[in-house]
Structure 1
């Protein structure tokens, strides 16, 4: 299908695709709620309100204030990106929802008539464009860029659809978004974890700005990753990549999840406690082995770490937002386990990346036994180890722990009320606008 027809035309997807999209939407909003009191989210929202407040008022999610559309998208995407529990797509080595979901609500502030079904279709389309933009970018450059470098194009496509841009305006919006997309280096952030994370705050802002600039008459060079890489776009409308996005059960880098889940499986199967284990050997892929190796000083380091979350899983049996902040960063029991962990990258595990992320654990016990996990894939990927809807809801409620139960219930109920609904999206917006 022609790219511009796909962006603007009715979608030909079935109810299964829409159900997946609704789940990803609500899961992402749950992460936004969980991240609302985090330092990065507060700073981003204050910055947007103070310095990006001009123009139409779009809501700052879980804040109560409003600001200009680019600022609202920037703040929410930065907020979500700094609680690393949002969805992702393996072939892109990155994330889509953390940029396109905030952009949806920014643009919706200009569309009070927007229905839930229309919003969901726009979101699906944006996932499809962003996924292919990410794959195309990584296929045409040697460096590994953050998600903001390419999910900006998904944001631009979403805005072009919702604001009814012409074909020429849409082409310019995509070109502007690609040209200004933050070509930030992912492994630089991995080596020095900060609040910059995966660049999606800047990607969301850039995509929104690109739409508004094109609508105002600004021109941009054609998007190379679209117009000069057609082989990545010929399945639009037939292959729904959104159904292969994973949902993350833990708020840490996906690269650490195979080792975390291997520890979780062994812990449950053998009723292990931290004192039972004398040594832990992790074999994983090269990128995962580059994650932060020590006891983290900051939440950012905790989310881009490998031994720390594996030790946390052994000690506590779960990893929620409170496990990567505050007192958890100084927990002696976790620090004691971390000293017993070694990490090694292997060609075997590296060969699977990025299509798969695998790891294997060997645990040496006090009683002389040795437990081996074997190759483990992370939970949450529909082609790996799918999570049931009940497990997704459990994760969602952990993320929304700071919200009143009634508000959490109402948010979750929206998951089944999005598709095929001519009811206004404003019902959902009203749930995510007031402060936590």
Structure 2
């Protein structure tokens, strides 16, 4: 990214962005874009609910209520599946941190990261302060956030050498949603984008992957920075132009805005694990089913994949973050359990002797051909050797869940039911599903959904 570029006024790309944002119309958007946005909201809510079990989520919720409280005359929002109140940025922080810490949300492969994990928490917070918000308008806001955040991600990754966390750019998507919903002027909008980009966490992703903690993908701070930027810009605070939008070397990344819908080019993770491990998981699950492999008969497992995937942990985890940034552990779970779900990344699983044994038997190797295809594709092959000497090879497998082919509605709904059902009753899951799946109807009220989620409390 250009270090310094003096701008006399807004670049045409900012004017184009603002005109596009305020001209979005639910009735004019392609049907598949609206439908995809609705399914992404459903998926994110399921992950957010399941993530309530994580220690990171509990800490973030308690912290937000205590330290990010709203002042007497400030807008406030309730925390999803909790009901307690914090400021808008505080609520976004708590919900985004919780959601980000269960690595099962949507993403766009060129960004090497995720937007929805910040966008939905920010929207839930913003909606509480809105006088009204229809379901269709809420979907338009999510679409606007996706389209902006991912282009900012492409501009950042395409112009700087470091691999930054998603919080570095999904904060801008939160600004865009808030700017349209709150009806701010172009001047406030432009300053808010600049403030958000300047203060968003441009943290180094690989440092967290090498040492997994509750920081995860930076989204816990990306979402509140986006909302803070908008609120403080409304108060008159100024910020330098957003380089990922207005600087010359970013211009090309915005040329297809409104023409190519990145919202529909995302994947939806079937497993709560770093995306880089998904192809090995799929390969292992395929081998287990195809050859009726009993995990107790496994003598060795070899994973051949791209470098980032091979760099994931090969050790037995002792925390949920370490389990989610592991390669050997989820592959072991695939062979032993036949599933890699929420339970498999919870501390209760880490003492399982068979999972420990299989983790130690797994090795990772970089395949130059698969490395050459990254990040456009996430691929791997798995070779398993049994104690009787038989060997099976999965061949090259591409991670499931999209973007090509896109996951079906049935697959996303089934995942939602699994994840939400890990903490909610069947009746609650069905009620939440009905509310989300009707968001694109003409009479849908998003604020009613926000109320439902806030009052649908999950026991600690």
For Structure 1 versus Structure 2, the TM-score category normalised by the shorter chain is over 0.9
| 2:426 corresponds to | 405
Q: Report the alpha carbon displacement of residue 170 of structure 1 after superposing the two structures with TM.
A: 0.7
Matched residue of 1:158: which SS?
helix
Matches within 5 A, 1:288-367: 288-367=309-388
| 2:274 corresponds to | 253
**Is it true that 1:53 corresponds to 2:69 in the alignment?**
yes
| 1:157 corresponds to | 176
Q: Report the alpha carbon displacement of residue 37 of structure 1 after superposing the two structures with TM.
A: 2.4
Matched residue of 1:281: which SS?
strand
| 1:389 corresponds to | 409
| 2:221 corresponds to | 202
Tell me the matched-pair count. Answer: 435
Could you tell me how far apart the structure 1 residues matched to 2:411 and 2:133 are? 30
| 1:118 corresponds to | 137
Please tell me whether the aligned partners of residues 136 and 225 of structure 1 are also in contact (alpha carbons under 8 angstroms). yes
Could you tell me how far apart the structure 1 residues matched to 2:129 and 2:175 are? 15
Matched residue of 2:300: which SS?
strand
1:285 to 306, 325, 336: 306
- Structure 2: gaps of 5 or more residues: 1-12
**Is it true that 1:3 corresponds to 2:17 in the alignment?**
yes
2:396 to 366, 375, 384: 375
Q: Deviations over 1:273-327 (max 9, x none)?
A: 1023211110111111111110001111000000000000100000111111122
Could you tell me how far apart the structure 1 residues matched to 2:98 and 2:418 are? 17
| 1:87 corresponds to | 106
Could you tell me how far apart the structure 2 residues matched to 1:42 and 1:149 are? 24
Q: Report the alpha carbon displacement of residue 38 of structure 1 after superposing the two structures with TM.
A: 1.2
Could you tell me how far apart the structure 2 residues matched to 1:210 and 1:87 are? 24
Matched residue of 1:330: which SS?
coil
Name the Cα RMSD after superposition.
1.2
Matches within 5 A, 1:162-181: 162-181=181-200
Name whichever of 69-78 and 275-284 sits farther off: 275-284
- Structure 1: gaps of 5 or more residues: none
Please tell me whether the aligned partners of residues 314 and 363 of structure 2 are also in contact (alpha carbons under 8 angstroms). no
Q: Report the alpha carbon displacement of residue 195 of structure 1 after superposing the two structures with TM.
A: 0.2
| 1:226 corresponds to | 245
1:23 to 32, 35, 39: 39
Please tell me whether the aligned partners of residues 314 and 360 of structure 2 are also in contact (alpha carbons under 8 angstroms). no
TM-score, normalized by length of structure 1? Answer: 0.98
Matched residue of 1:118: which SS?
helix
Matched residue of 1:36: which SS?
helix
Could you tell me how far apart the structure 2 residues matched to 1:352 and 1:62 are? 40
Matches within 5 A, 1:135-150: 135-150=154-169
| 1:109 corresponds to | 128
| 1:133 corresponds to | 152
Could you tell me how far apart the structure 2 residues matched to 1:101 and 1:286 are? 31
Q: Report the alpha carbon displacement of residue 420 of structure 1 after superposing the two structures with TM.
A: 4.1
Matched residue of 1:80: which SS?
helix
Could you tell me how far apart the structure 2 residues matched to 1:232 and 1:19 are? 25
TM-score, normalized by length of structure 2? Answer: 0.93
Could you tell me how far apart the structure 1 residues matched to 2:116 and 2:329 are? 26
Could you tell me how far apart the structure 2 residues matched to 1:423 and 1:168 are? 32
Q: Deviations over 1:78-118 (max 9, x none)?
A: 00011111111100000010000001111111113111111
Please tell me whether the aligned partners of residues 18 and 419 of structure 1 are also in contact (alpha carbons under 8 angstroms). yes
Could you tell me how far apart the structure 2 residues matched to 1:250 and 1:103 are? 24
Matched residue of 2:396: which SS?
coil
Name whichever of 417-426 and 241-250 sits farther off: 417-426
